[in-house]
Amino acid sequence: MRETLSIWWFAGLLLLAYGVIILLTGIWELSHPLVPPPVLNRLHPAIWWGGVLTLCGLGYCVRFRPGRR
Amino acid sequence: MTHALLLSLSAHPGLAAFAAGGQRLARLNSIDILVIAIYFAMVVYIGFYLKGTSNTGQDFFLAGREMTSWIAGLSFVSANLGSLELMGWAGSAYQYGILATHWYWIGAIPAMLFLGIVMMPFYYISKTHSVPGYLQLRYGQGASALSAVSFALMTILMSGINMYSMALVMKVVLGWDLNFSIWVSSVTVAVYVALGGLKSAIFNEVLQFLLIWAGALAIPVLGLIDAGGWSNLRRQIATNLGRSDYVHLWSTLGHFNTNPMGVNWFGIVFGLGFVVSFGYWTTDFLVVQRVLSADNLRSARMAPVIGAAFKMAVPLIVILPGLLALAVLPFPLVGQDVAVHTGQHSYNEVLPLMLVRYCGPGLLGLGVTALIAGFMSGMAGNVSAFSTVWTYDLYGAFLNRKASDRHYVAMGRWSTLLGVLVSVGTAYLVQHAASIMDYVQQLFSFFVAPLFGTVILGMLWKRATKAGGFWGLLCGTTTSIGLWTWVRNDPSALRYVAMSASAKDMAENIYRALWAWLVCVLVTVVVSLMTEARPVKELEGLVYGITPIPREREERWHQRPVVWAGIVTVIFVGLNLLFW
């Protein structure tokens, strides 16, 4: 029987994809400000939240990568 | 409970009014659409990937009984964390203040711990595949059939109502067409549950749990910064409302008319904290099925404890946004009935409003994805539980007892598709007769409280008999329906049902459950004492005191579920004192 991929690997993949998308969006907004901006957009939540998701996703992907015992 | 029980208790009548209550709240751009599309692609891929691992009945209906305690625990709590709960309870927090937290703490934590520590050994050791399956072993076919029919019927109707509610939310928040939302979500759910069975549903529930936190946690963080911290938030709410009872959990519960919810401490502790909560968390097969998928007894006992720990944190992303809205939104929210006529935003829109307030492209898409994921996993939970109860407790018990395992798996896949189709039909039915939705939500709640009486007596009292179980369940359910009908026909009857003329909807639901449970227990005891008891030998593995429970001596102290249950209890008590 084939090896079952861990649910945590799928979770890591999803978080990584979302983290990268949101982080890049946040960086893009630095040079292309939103009009009108959401409340507290000066804190650049897309950058720090995208960064957190990227790190979490990376951690899960590495820790639960296919083939790792 | 998208689940019906909590939803019905949340007193959100007429979601149809929600659709008419305002205009589109947000517009998604291509980044947001990409975020949503990635989620759909992922869940369908998981369904196809798991198809090859769901070939036997145990694989398809119980996820192979190979889930770890963490996966089973997150799935257990996630099956209850649908988007209707998130949005409904955030709205309730705006409407009633911090009292709404009771449905997450005393209305969940003690029952979850009780399930893990006391009840799970009996469910797990009996090797039952479902709660009606346990009743079959303990009481025979009468109580089991009554429970299975009511569960299957209500689960599938609730699935349709959830689907319709999701379509309405998508219409209000994003302006999406109702048919588009209904068919895209139902086809996706049908594909991944029919292919991968319970394992697929559980995988997606775990993903949904993470997504909800990833998508919603930014709101309370930014909201607290916006409000200037917790102390300033409390002060601002008191100033805006001119009253201070919105931020206290217990100190305002002395009487029905000293708090915004119209309920008292007795109802919260015994009605909600005991009957309603224990009824839902320990006997609703939708959530119990997740724990039955655990890979061993220790995991099965740890799963509800882990679920309880996470459940305690959920008010952070549900209740706090509602409280924050009371302080930071520049306009007041109103009830749905008012919103329909004035075009203002209703309480139920508080979560999307806060999402739009703080989130730009990308983050907004993630928040919307979290809502969609909540709806879809809630529907998948309903459909997978329906499929199991239909296949084993109705089809296998009454229509075709001697079919092969392969045949039952095929029946499980087909009943999944059938369940989704019935759900779609229900969604269209309530679209044209919205009041049906409120009735069905109430109907579901009729069965849960008495079922808890039947199950708990069966587990703890060896003298309970087949006739006692059946008549107790039937009389308890009839009592619940009777009380509900009485109050509908004569609203002044509320003073008898909820024991106060000042009681409101929440109190009525709580006290009705309490009466139904009491009648169920009383009838079960009386009828059991009047009928012949089953031989003790037949009850081994089913009843406390007769069943040898595997000892935990071989485990280290920090591996024992009871130790972690103790830690969760201490935190639970501390939190209640903190927000007293």
Amino acid at position B293, single letter = S
* Chain B residues touching A40 at Cβ < 8 A: 222, 225-226, 358
Mapping DSSP to helix (H, G, I), strand (E, B) and coil, where does residue B451 land?
helix
Please answer whether residues B306 and B312 qualify as being in contact, where contact means their C-beta atoms are separated by less than 8 angstroms: no
Distance CA A27, CA A13 (A): 21
| A vs B: CB pairs below 8 A | 77
* Chain A residues touching B361 at Cβ < 8 A: 25, 29, 34, 46
* Chain A residues touching B210 at Cβ < 8 A: 11, 14-15
Q: Cα dist. B336→B20, B91, B250, B303, B423 in Å?
A: 9, 11, 28, 38, 25
Please answer whether residues B509 and B494 qualify as being in contact, where contact means their C-beta atoms are separated by less than 8 angstroms: no
Q: State the burial class of residue B572 (Cβ atoms within 10 Å of its Cβ: 0-12, 13-18, 19+).
A: buried
Shortest alpha-carbon distance between residue A40 and chain B (Å):
7
Domain extent listing, chain A: 7-63
Q: Which of A10, A43, A45 sits opposite B207 (nearest CB)?
A: A10
Tens of pLDDT, residues B308-323: 999 999 999 999 999 9
Tokens 């911090």 sit on residue: B98
Walk me through the domains of chain B, giving residue ranges and CATH numbers. 4-54+64-578 (1.20.1730.10)
pLDDT (tens, 9 = 90+) of chain B, 580 residues, equals: 433 333 333 333 334 444 444 456 777 889 999 999 999 999 888 888 888 777 788 888 887 788 889 999 998 888 888 777 788 888 889 988 999 999 999 999 999 999 999 888 888 887 788 888 889 989 988 889 988 988 888 888 888 887 887 787 788 777 888 888 888 888 888 888 888 888 888 888 888 889 888 888 999 999 999 999 999 999 999 888 888 888 888 988 888 787 877 788 888 898 888 888 888 888 888 888 888 888 888 889 999 999 999 999 999 999 999 999 999 988 888 877 777 788 788 887 888 889 889 988 899 999 989 888 888 888 888 888 899 899 988 999 888 888 888 899 899 889 989 999 988 888 888 777 655 656 665 666 688 888 989 999 998 899 999 999 999 999 999 999 999 889 888 888 888 888 887 777 777 888 888 899 999 999 999 999 999 988 888 888 888 878 777 766 567 888 888 999 999 999 999 999 998 8
Q: What is the value of ipTM here, to two decimals?
A: 0.93
